[in-house]
Chain A
């Protein structure tokens, strides 16, 4: 406990780095997964292909991906960009399926009503399908967020600075307190992501809280 208090500054700095490395990919991943999921939901023929491809990406172990990306991207191994790209890949892999499922779950009578009211394909996606799919997409984002926070800590093995540093450093120095501080900090960060996503999802879907008449 004293150790944690003495190192609050260091913990805070690394927590912010960790939050960026885990959070930025969530945004990038969502932006990429939306059109992919939309395609998968719209064209059943593409669905299997798209979901299998993204599923394969998710199969690659993270440490391997962190190491394989630098030669592919032309970056240095210590470059945090590798971590952001790797996490974005995983996020896309998780979210494409969720987005497709969310969009497919929209009631077809709702969609037909929107078409009858004169919504074009894009307008319908933006104002009808997407908002209705928010709860499902948010559920997927929560999973992706928790998994990202955990995986980012692995990047400390290749020397990228974030909360995982406390894990590797504590182990190297045989200092369990530091490892526990790292674990608790990761858990708190994951919890923070979870709460934020749930709040945003609540704000975006006021109708789910409507009082039944």
Chain B
């Protein structure tokens, strides 16, 4: 196997057309990933937010994290064998695979959402209540923006997990880029396997990069530490690395600060790494799942 063979595969027009072509396989992979994340978000976000907001039923999060020890390959095979025969249509292979992918995406999303809400300073919550906010306002205006960094790092880890596992799911007949790896293996076409692997790795890197950008720009400047570039911070108060900030008085609510906090300067350096770093100390959504 040489570089030339890989190059030849990528430049062969035959590999860019039809069901088995690269564009279709990439699209399939993206559709599976998107669908899975959509279902998983619908389940995990309200649940995680509720657990974080009320502090009830924390065992749900602990349990979901413990469930990550189940080997994904085993789960995939077990569910396909149980659910597959029950479905009479062409979807017999797709539904079980998506179900497993959703199951795998829930724990990182759940613990990301939970850890995010849970890490909100009690002082910030109290201040919001003191300002007369209702329970829903406290959640939507204070807790949700503060939780965003940890939630997004949970989303990143779930996305990677789903992209990786969707590849493996080709062994239970799911489409997507995994087909190149599994079909190449079956027909001893090593070049095709390598090309498929390169595509999967690229897709994962690009998806992670896009989410990193989202994380960078969606998070409120006051929380990510970008605020310190602005002379006067309008929206929020403080330092970038919230959870590593031991100061209990640190508030993230509205109060207009005439002078930028001096510590913000120190926190800027950790700007983009802030959210992820914070996770390491709070929970484990950043402990990315792998398959």
Closest-CB distance, A11 to chain B (whole angstroms): 14
Q: Is the CB of B69 within 8 A of A157?
A: no
Closest-CB distance, B255 to chain A (whole angstroms): 30
Interface residues on A, range: 35 or more
Is chain B's interface secondary structure helix, strand, loop, or mixed overall?
helix
Residue A158 CB within 8 A of the other chain: yes
Partner among B80, B81, B82, B168 whose Cβ is within 8 Å of the Cβ of A154? B168
Q: Which of B12-20, B37-45, B110-118, B190-198 contacts A (4 or more CB under 8 A)?
A: B190-198
- A98–B287 Cα distance when bound, in Å, is 10
Q: Is the CB of A61 within 8 A of B77?
A: no
Partner among A101, A146, A191 whose Cβ is within 8 Å of the Cβ of B277? A101
Is chain A's interface secondary structure helix, strand, loop, or mixed overall?
helix
Interface residues of A in 54-113 (CB under 8 A from B): 56, 58-65, 67-68, 71, 77, 90, 94, 97-98, 101
Residue B163 CB within 8 A of the other chain: yes
- A150–B68 Cα distance when bound, in Å, is 9
Residue B26 CB within 8 A of the other chain: no
Closest-CB distance, A36 to chain B (whole angstroms): 15
Residue B35 CB within 8 A of the other chain: no
Q: List, in ascending order, chain B residues with CB within 8 A of A47's CB.
A: 273
Residue A183 CB within 8 A of the other chain: yes
Q: Is the CB of A158 within 8 A of B73?
A: no
Interface residues of B in 239-291 (CB under 8 A from A): 269, 272-273, 277, 280-281, 284, 287-291
Q: Is the CB of A183 within 8 A of B281?
A: no
- A56–B81 Cα distance when bound, in Å, is 34
Q: List, in ascending order, chain A residues with CB within 8 A of B160's CB.
A: 58-59, 61
Q: Is the CB of B164 within 8 A of A48?
A: no
Residue A167 CB within 8 A of the other chain: yes
Residue A147 CB within 8 A of the other chain: yes
Q: Is the CB of A60 within 8 A of B201?
A: yes
Q: List, in ascending order, chain A residues with CB within 8 A of B100's CB.
A: none
Residue A21 CB within 8 A of the other chain: no
Q: List, in ascending order, chain B residues with CB within 8 A of A97's CB.
A: 280
- A153–B75 Cα distance when bound, in Å, is 11
Interface residues of B in 188-243 (CB under 8 A from A): 190, 193-194, 196-198, 200-201, 204-205, 208
Partner among A90, A156, A183 whose Cβ is within 8 Å of the Cβ of B70? A183
Q: Is the CB of A171 within 8 A of B80?
A: yes
Q: Is the CB of B68 within 8 A of A146?
A: yes
Residue B71 CB within 8 A of the other chain: yes
- A150–B273 Cα distance when bound, in Å, is 27
Q: Which of B46-54, B129-137, B177-185 contacts A (4 or more CB under 8 A)?
A: B177-185
Q: Is the CB of A151 within 8 A of B290?
A: yes
Q: Can you list 24 contacts pairing A with B, beta carbon distance less than 8 Å? A: A48-B273, A59-B205, A59-B208, A60-B201, A61-B164, A61-B200, A61-B204, A61-B291, A63-B167, A63-B197, A64-B181, A64-B198, A64-B201, A64-B204, A65-B197, A67-B197, A71-B194, A147-B289, A157-B168, A157-B171, A157-B182, A168-B171, A170-B77, A176-B78
Interface residues in chain B, defined as those with a beta carbon under 8 Å from any beta carbon in chain A: 1, 68-75, 77-78, 80-82, 160, 163-164, 167-168, 171-172, 178, 181-182, 185, 190, 193-194, 196-198, 200-201, 204-205, 208, 269, 272-273, 277, 280-281, 284, 287-291
15 more A-B residue pairs beyond the given contacts A64-B196, A68-B201, A179-B78, with a C-beta to C-beta distance below 8 A: A60-B201, A64-B204, A68-B194, A68-B198, A97-B280, A101-B277, A147-B287, A149-B69, A150-B72, A167-B74, A168-B77, A170-B77, A182-B74, A183-B74, A186-B70
What 6 A-B pairs are tightest by C-beta distance, nearest first? A61-B164, A64-B197, A183-B74, A171-B77, A153-B71, A67-B197
